[in-house]
Amino acid sequence: SQKIEQNSEALNIQEGKTATLTCNYTNYSPAYLQWYRQDPGRGPVFLLLIRENEKEKRKERLKVTFDTTLKQSLFHITASQPADSATYLCANNAGNMLTFGGGTRLMVKP
């Protein structure tokens, strides 16, 4: 069955460093992947979408890559700030159904 997986362990980094989060998928080839941010008690907020024919996409301090050979997407936050602390979710939609990975909690320490 199709699976989309993220590292369930929390990622702790120091302010100013680059945070890198991983999303792996198996048993299918998504046409694109999406990344969301979720703060406690809030709904997910859409950040970036990357298509399979795009190797990289950027938005301000965010960068997403898509490696169809490795079946993996990486999400980078450069010059991280404590305000970036949140859970980050990758997701893929097959048709209109959005399937989420388990999310990775990022903690940026001052």
Partner 1 sequence: SAVISQKPSRDICQRGTSLTIQCQVDSQVTMMFWYRQQPGQSLTLIATANQGSEATYESGFVIDKFPISRPNLTFSTLTVSNMSPEDSSIYLCSVVGQGVGGYTFGSGTRLTVV
Q: In sequence order, what are the residues at sequence separation of 6 or more whose Cβ sits closer than 8 angstroms to the Cβ of residue 101?
A: 4, 5, 6, 23, 89, 90, 91
Binding mask 20-59 for partner 1 (x = CB under 8 A): ------------x-x-x----xxxxxxx-x----------
Query: Per DSSP, which regions of 8-53 are E strands?
Result: 11-14, 19-26, 32-38, 45-51
CB-nearer residue toward partner 1: 20 or 99: 99
Cβ neighbours of 14 (radius 10 Å):
10
**In angstroms, what is the minimal distance from the CB of 1 to partner 1?**
11
99 binds partner 1 (CB under 8 A): yes
Q: Footprint of partner 1 on this chain (CB under 8 A)?
A: 32, 34, 36, 41-47, 49, 89, 96-103
